[in-house]
Chain A
């Protein structure tokens, strides 16, 4: 018997818990709240873009003077939207919540390798997110130099930037603890028989993600410390000599380089892109395998592609910097690596598409979101290729085309995958079922409006409209023809917001509903479904720790009575 039965108080059980499942749920709830908040910021900004300089409804009062969004505040909201979505929303949800809850279950572990560290990691994240939030209340408002915080601008920006840096240091520490934990858990705590090539793809993606976080984040921490020194101790790491601000030469010692920041930043931020996408791959793979009732095509090629992707993501960072005047040979190197890194992504996408072939597909809500993910990720990936080539990037750099490109990957892409994961695992986490009707409505409306928001961005971007514009391009002649799209995008964004009500209502109704208590409603093969109850028993997960005999996706094996063979089934 591996389960702990002794009584715990509410506080130790639900708040300062060291149980990976509770911590996973804490991560999940906190990050969903932040996702919503980051989205609300964008809905406010989209009002200003659609109807420049008219008072914003509902929240205008909070914004001050006549309810019109001032341009400085637009910058703040934009920078915080990016920061919140990535560091407080998607990563904690994809890695913190799903990783924590399901990696131990899928590998047959009774908990993470370091449960106390796990709790510490969540509370660091919580603290970091509170610090980020405090930024809105300091003089000058929250950080306003973009989520990339490029100096010299960020070096001389208002106090909000300092708060941002402190917040980031906390978040980096949190993700460091989290990634060590996932790595150690997967390496050390796989149950008997769970060899590397029997790991579910979801576990593989979390494992590689953890490696990226472990190795890519520290240089950003270093950069953050240097920027803090610039701001607080008056150093000039990122300040060139003789910089003139508002007509006055700064008195700094000078001699620093803004490019240094860009290198350190993108050394993190490119792998970060894969941190945003890999867990999505993992979830989508699980859902697709389960609902096509077929083994995944090319399990090994998937694994190798993902590992390769992980390695390559460390040598492509400077493709974000083609316009900084780097030499052509360096440019050529980074163009080549960037083209090479697109190969594994294509392999992954192809493997998933082939897996659909000839399956008797069940179109339930998680599957719809997983299927929606595929073309959206495809569009995001294809539109990225021109950006990887310096010649094309010179035209497209810093336009709405770029915004469209990466949002296709992270918004209709990753966010759809995360929804798929929530709907797929909801029965496991609660023992209850979600409402299929509401789920499908949620999917269809989200799908339409997501595209309504992001498709027009390509058109605007190709016409040359820049990103980070307060008036949406109103004063530019070249934008005149595509300006009407601003309203289309904004209305889509608000309707997208409304569509999320289906999700929220669904969650509330389902949580209030009856327990079905089914352990394995989807007839899945992995240990989280076959060897635990729903929800898994207290601290300890399994009545009896399972032993693994089969691969992760043995669906419709010829000669077997049922159409799925659990990993823990002998013979």
Chain B
């Protein structure tokens, strides 16, 4: 049983289902952010004084972020175009670049947020900061959503890719453990840390060999649990980062199935990337509105 027009266009509308679906979704998103922008105008016109964004917020960092997002929109288009040309390698390259730029955006945003908190500037400080955190926060959630979806299509791999990803996660794990090291040297956590590292090294080695592939994910799980035991007497940003990455690694190796659409139906896969691209441009566009409204006006 196949639903019509999932891949081919319906002649009288000139669209396939998914494309129409994403346009409708974006229409509702316009209303969502439209509602927030009107709230912003309403709040701002309702009071006598309103701070100038540039005095409080970091314009250079935001400009950098704008560059990141615009470039990522371009690479997103390139990845779709590569698929159209049947060049899967190029697709992986450009989609990977998009992911990277999106992550860089988040990193910069993280530094922006923490700098505000360090200066005791919170959403509750005034309504300007309130709306700033709410709107950019919601936008960040959209970016994260996009990252997950792009990653899902990007990550379809053969064995080598799987090894690559496991290695990346293992490496990140190690970094997280080492950043915790000096705080963690209190006997108990040290043992945990050591066990984690041993497990990880085994995971790294085993992932090199096809026949051990299955076990790698259990080793990652094991590492996580041993590390997670530290939660009873250990707290800190680095440690939470460790837990977070661990959860991601586990989700990655257990939940996400490899997407096989490209093998079975390349046109369908290309359509999906087109849809993801439309969404990604929208996320980009929202930022292009947010940037002047919040930072400059």
| Residues of A bordering B, CB below 8 Å | 2-4, 109-111, 113-115, 117, 176, 179-181, 183-184, 187-189, 214-223, 225-226, 229, 233-237, 252-253, 255-257, 260, 263-264, 267, 539-540
Contacts and interface: CB of A to CB of B under 8 A. Distances in A.
Interface in B1-58: 1, 3-5, 10, 13, 15-18, 20-21, 24-25, 27-29, 31-36, 38-39, 42-43, 46-47
23 contacts: A110-B1, A114-B17, A117-B21, A176-B28, A180-B25, A183-B20, A184-B20, A184-B24, A189-B17, A216-B31, A218-B34, A219-B34, A222-B33, A225-B138, A229-B133, A229-B134, A233-B123, A235-B130, A252-B124, A255-B43, A255-B46, A257-B42, A260-B42
Contacts of A219: 31-32, 34-35, 38
B42 A235 contact: no
Contacts of B122: 233-234
B264 interface: no
Contacts of B35: 218-223, 264, 267
Contact of A237 (B10, B34, B131): B131
B127 to A, nearest CB: 5
Q: Which 7 pairs across A and B sit closest by C-beta, in order of nearness?
A: A234-B124, A222-B35, A219-B35, A235-B130, A218-B32, A218-B31, A233-B123
Given A187-B13, A188-B13, A113 B28 contact: no
Interface string B258-292: 00000000000000000000000000000000000
B125 interface: yes
- Majority SS at the chain A contact face: helix
Contact of A255 (B21, B29, B126, B134): B126
Contacts of B39: 222-223, 226, 237, 260, 264
Contacts of A4: 1
Contacts of A257: 42-43, 46
B24 A253 contact: no
Interface string B116-141: 00000011111100110110001000
A255 B123 contact: no
Nearest to B44: A255
B134 to A, nearest CB: 5
A189 B4 contact: yes
A237 B31 CA distance: 19
Contact of A113 (B17, B42, B133): B17
A187 B31 contact: no
Nearest to A239: B127
Given A113-B21, A180-B24, A256-B127, A235 B134 contact: yes
A235 B25 CA distance: 29
Indicate the member of A109, A236, A267 with the most B CB atoms within 10 Å. A236
Given A218-B32, A221-B32, A256-B43, A233 B124 contact: yes
